[in-house]
Chain A
Amino acid sequence: MRLLERVEKRLSGRRYRTAGTVLVLLFLFVFIVGPPLSVFLMVVKNWGDIYATVFADPFFSEVGKGAFRWSMIQKALVRSLEIAAIVTVVDLIIGLPMALILARYEFRGKRLVDTLIDLPMVVPTAALGFSLYLFWGSVDGLSGLLGLKTGLASRGPLLIILTHVAFSYPYIVRSLKEIIGAVDRNLEYAARTLGAPPLTVFRTVTAPLIKSGVLAGSILCFTRSLGETGATIIVAGAFYTAPLLVVEYRQLLMIPPAAFLSMILVSISAVLLASLRFSAERFGLPIKGVWPRTERLLSGKNQRRLRDLATLSLFALLVLLPTSFIFVYLFKWWSGSPYTGNPQLGAFYQVFLAPDKKLPELWSSIVASFEVAALSTAINIVAGLPMAFILVRRNLGKFKGLLDALIDIPLTIPTSALGFSFFLFWGSQGLSLLGPGFWMIILVHIGFTYPYIVRPLVAVVEGLDVHMEEASRTLGASPLTVFRTVILPTMKQGILAAAIMSFTRSLGETGATVVVMGLTRTVPVLIVQWVESLALPAAAFACVVLITISLALLLVLRYVLGWK
């Protein structure tokens, strides 16, 4: 045997396996789960300060003289929850029919529609917020077309809802599409031949089988809306939601209330995560009542066409057009103001020609974004791959559920709270190893992209053909040799896909980065800054650059995966 195989054989031994597992779990606890959970510790440690600033220190605010910060915090939480609920309902209503269309029909242009649905996922959250603001809230957008003098929805709760609806749409459609796709088509065929028109088939056969999936998708949608920070920063204006409040406290260096609010947000996320796992089976749908005549009427071909048209129109109006509007805006404002013609107000001037031209800043932030994305992705691939194997192959019993939940923690916590917990953990309040800046951004992105890598890798590992590995063993290969010669080549595509997903997410991350940045700026952060300083055309340019890069990556991803 050659040296390589001999080493692999040695390292396949039980002791090394255990050591490796311990390392992987350690990574999880220190770099991923530790910071968010440590918030609780911080709160306990600093309870005195927290009590003072949140509950006991009266201050002037819009709530009135002598109110406590606690009421502000409460208000923010309630708002966030309300918005999340509304968004979830709307997304379910417009997303479910779309998922049905994608899962069950074949038509020309389906590939295109499928790709377009992913658009909000590809657009970095700050850019998304900006584009939506321009579409709904500025004269350059929809209201201009309609001849109005002001925006249809100014910055505030309505705009936030519209933004969250667009932002969550692809997630809900994708997960519903998968769930519907998992239903055996023959069941629906059988029901048809037994005399049930399509709507009755949906109600009596498909719906009961997808209900747990729909519930899971809804909880996920709710959680995402609850935690959205990056886009919300741009469209909220003076209105504040809970995640935004965390950002504000952090920027004002009011650590104790920030910590307290973060803790509450982490707790809510944990509760939602737990409910995701336990609630699924219990809720039912009316199957008893039979309305064959009505359902038969509504199942007709023309009715179906109308429904499909409505679904596609809503998608276009609420998701596609607003998300892509930034391109239109940039085009309008490229060489100057479309109203006055002043070239100094144009994007081209602002970025390339002005004395304080934005180009160098943009360039260094692009470099920074790429560095952060590349490093965090690479580290997570190395740490996440063994974790995926542990989840799928090891017999963990009860611990599997716990481990699953822990891995999802960064997904569910609002990004600003996540960023803040890292700020506490690694910074002067915790381990005092780092200050805000480039390395802390990397650590945050490692924490935040971890689930985006582990989840798809888990899917790939689950899809591996165990028999092929067994064949390899019987041909003389030790487990590590099997990994190198059989498993890795098979997983290549999947690993690349996970890496691209994680990289793209990292590029677009805003909320957490804003909290931990020092002097380094990533592109999304730059966009936020430029929007706040009203250099809108320049911000639009940065958005378009970032979106283009992300889109290109998405297309590469599609190419790598073939077409599913």
Chain B
Amino acid sequence: MPEVRLENVTKRYGKTEAVKNLSLTVYDGEYFTLLGPIGSGKTTTLMLLAGLIEADEGEIYFDDRPMKGVPPEDRGVGFVFETFALFPHYNVWENVTYGPRVRNEELTSTRKVAEEMLQMVLLEDRPDALPDELSGGMKQRTALARALTSGAKILLLDEPLGSLDAKIRSALALDLRRIVKALGLTAIHVTNNVEEAMTISDRVAMMHNGLPEQVGLPKELYENPKSIFVMDFVGDVNLFNGVVTSSGEDFTEVTTEEGVPFRSSRQSIEIGTRVHAVVRAEDVDILLENEKDAVNMLHGTVKEKLFLLGFTKYLIELETGREVVAEVPSMRREAELRVGETITMKFTPQNVYLFQIEESI
């Protein structure tokens, strides 16, 4: 149940830095997820942790033990690959018991552990099957059992659910967490699927260009995103550009390029600063009756309407020509508007997020 720590780790391939100055701490027994688009260095990070590649700079510690120079076979990590990497010439049982066999461990205890693991992943009835006789879900569970049977205390998972059908994916996700928690392992899971990360993790690190842009509980990432990148990753956002026109202790007012006044109660920014003002699609309220307020209000026509499960998504064209996305829970009356209707939209100061412009999405 070790704690895993990366300190200023850098890995270069030729001139590109796949991982640059990365520092992260994963607590003992935590289910930690690296979430980010493809190519943000997540897989490289896992390979560094496993010892399959060596870092150019920086240190990796398992429970304060430095891992530099320690080969993969001595690190006690279990690795689950996106493509499962089951040995095609071995059957399920031989795959699962590979680890202990290769270390010449005692046969009886190996058998016990392996059977237990297979039971945990619901595969106890097919020990003789060859990998190409198994479905995707079964292959993944075999790969998991194999990693667990080797006695690893740290579990590294590289997009383990990526190649599976949606339904099986969500079923397996919860199973994964349950097993990891039951065995008290430390798990580091890599994915680009937001829902998966939010469902399965204790903490999430949002990766951007090889670095964790923000690390925290799923709820924190949603309620207090540190950058537009993080904000945009979960759900749809509406981005406006503007300049700060006035500010006080707990508010900032902005006038957007389109001339609309916004007010945010989230922070205080200097007058004259250029900012992005961002409002989430689900925070855009559609008014059924007209209100007098001019701040945080937009007018437009419904251009498109899409039905999602539990939500209705509107694409609204403002008078200025730009488009705004709004999402409304299906049970509300605002979900029954028609294409072509003119509507008024409003949002609260708490839901206006401001970011100073020097960032790029």
- Hey, which bits of chain A sit against chain B, CB under 8 A? 184, 186-187, 189-197, 200, 204-205, 208-209, 290, 292
Contact = CB atoms under 8 A, between A and B. Distances in A.
Given A190-B81, A194-B98, A209 B88 contact: yes
B98 A191 contact: yes
Contacts of B79: 189-190, 193
A187 B52 contact: no
B307 interface: no
B68 to A, nearest CB: 13
Contacts of A200: 102
Q: Which 6 pairs of residues, A with B, have the shortest CB-CB distance?
A: A194-B99, A186-B85, A192-B72, A190-B85, A193-B79, A196-B102
Contacts of A205: 87
Nearest to A193: B79
B15 interface: no
Interface string B74-105: 11011101010101110000000011111110
A446 to B, nearest CB: 41
B50 interface: yes
Nearest to B75: A193
Nearest to B79: A193
A439 to B, nearest CB: 52
B102 A290 contact: yes
B87 A189 contact: no
Contacts of B88: 209
Given A191-B87, A193-B156, A292-B104, 8 more contacts: A186-B81, A186-B83, A189-B52, A190-B81, A191-B102, A193-B52, A196-B73, A204-B98
7 contacts: A184-B83, A190-B146, A191-B87, A192-B52, A193-B73, A195-B100, A195-B103
A189 B102 contact: no
Contacts of B103: 195, 292
A292 B100 CA distance: 11
B49 to A, nearest CB: 10
B150 interface: yes
B162 interface: no
Contacts of A187: 85, 87
Contacts of B104: 290, 292
Nearest to A291: B104
A180 B176 CA distance: 33
B329 interface: no
Q: Which of A184, A194, A197, A292 is the most central at the interface, judged by chain B CB atoms within 10 Å of its CB?
A: A194
A195 B101 CA distance: 9
B101 A189 contact: no
A190 B147 CA distance: 9
Interface residues of B, number: 31
Contacts of B99: 194-195
B295 to A, nearest CB: 52
A166 to B, nearest CB: 34
A195 B81 contact: no
Given A186-B81, A290-B104, A292-B103, A194 B89 contact: no
A253 B146 CA distance: 69
Contacts of A197: 71, 73
A193 B103 CA distance: 12
B102 A208 contact: no
A192 B71 contact: yes
B73 A189 contact: no
A292 B104 CA distance: 7
Contacts of B51: 192-193
Nearest to B152: A193
Nearest to A183: B88
Nearest to A288: B101
A196 B100 CA distance: 10
A292 B85 contact: no
B117 to A, nearest CB: 13
Contact of A194 (B47, B146, B156): B146
A193 B77 contact: yes
B73 A184 contact: no
Interface in B37-59: 47, 50-52
A33 B146 CA distance: 52
A114 to B, nearest CB: 18
B89 A193 contact: no
A194 B75 CA distance: 9
Interface string B246-284: 000000000000000000000000000000000000000
Contacts of A191: 87, 98, 102
B77 to A, nearest CB: 6
A91 to B, nearest CB: 26
A195 B52 contact: no
Contacts of B156: 193
B89 A189 contact: no
A184 B101 CA distance: 22
B42 to A, nearest CB: 15
Q: Which of A186, A193, A209 is the most central at the interface, judged by chain B CB atoms within 10 Å of its CB?
A: A193
Interface string B135-176: 000000001001100101000100000000000000000000
Contacts of A194: 73, 78, 98-99, 102, 146-147, 150
Given A184-B85, A186-B85, A193 B72 contact: yes
A204 B73 contact: no
A212 to B, nearest CB: 11
A285 to B, nearest CB: 10
Nearest to A299: B71
A192 B51 CA distance: 9
B146 A189 contact: no
A195 B150 contact: yes
A192 B87 contact: no
Nearest to A184: B85
A274 B101 CA distance: 38
A208 to B, nearest CB: 5
B101 A193 contact: no
Contacts of A186: 81, 83, 85
A445 B73 CA distance: 54
Nearest to B88: A209
Contacts of B101: 290
Contacts of B147: 193-194
A195 B73 contact: yes
B52 A204 contact: no
Nearest to B73: A195
Q: Which of A186, A189, A190 is the most central at the interface, judged by chain B CB atoms within 10 Å of its CB?
A: A190
Contacts of B73: 192-197
A197 B70 CA distance: 12
